[in-house]
Amino acid sequence: MKKKTADKWDRRYFLLAKRISFWSKDPKAKVGAVLLDKKGWPIALGYNGFPAGVEDNVEKLKDGKLKNEMIVHAEQNTLLCSGSRARRGALYVYGKPICPRCAVLIIQAGVARVLGIKPDPERNPGSHTHRTGKISLAMFEEAGVDFVPIDPKILKSRKRKRGT
């Protein structure tokens, strides 16, 4: 049976994706991702940034149009680093709802389970991020990819029992 809710390991990997998001030099969007293989072992980490060898200078990062044309999304970075090992794996994405261009790659790579931030109709329902996030969710459903929404609030510091 497929897991439809997050457990303590899901929380840990989602927290790791959050930490990885801080590696991004993008001043507006910090997105991190962790990809597990089909056995649950981490195989790739990614964050949004320019391709390897392309300088992360302030001018490029401040020019929104140029930045958006050049940036590699966190999800794309993990998939590019994992090759065929992504098949039947799980992907944890922190920072923003998944865009359609990443959803397409996730589906094509054969990822079975995605845990991420669901588009929030309470926050800017007409926004580009909300609209495209809904498109991604519809594609996941149609393609049979399990999407488990994670509320970023679960990452807030709190006292926990040892081992969680």
Give catalytic residues, as residue numbers: 75
Distance CA 10, CA 113 (A): 11
Query: Under a CB-based contact definition with an 8 Å cutoff, are residues 74 and 99 in contact?
Result: no
SS3 sequence, 8-33? HHHHHHHHHHHHHHCCCCCCCCCCEE
CA angle 155, 108, 98 (to 5 degrees): 30
Q: Could you give the CA distance from residue 30 to residue 149 in angstroms, rounded to a whole number?
A: 18
Query: CA-to-CA distance for 127 and 132, rounded, in angstroms?
Result: 9
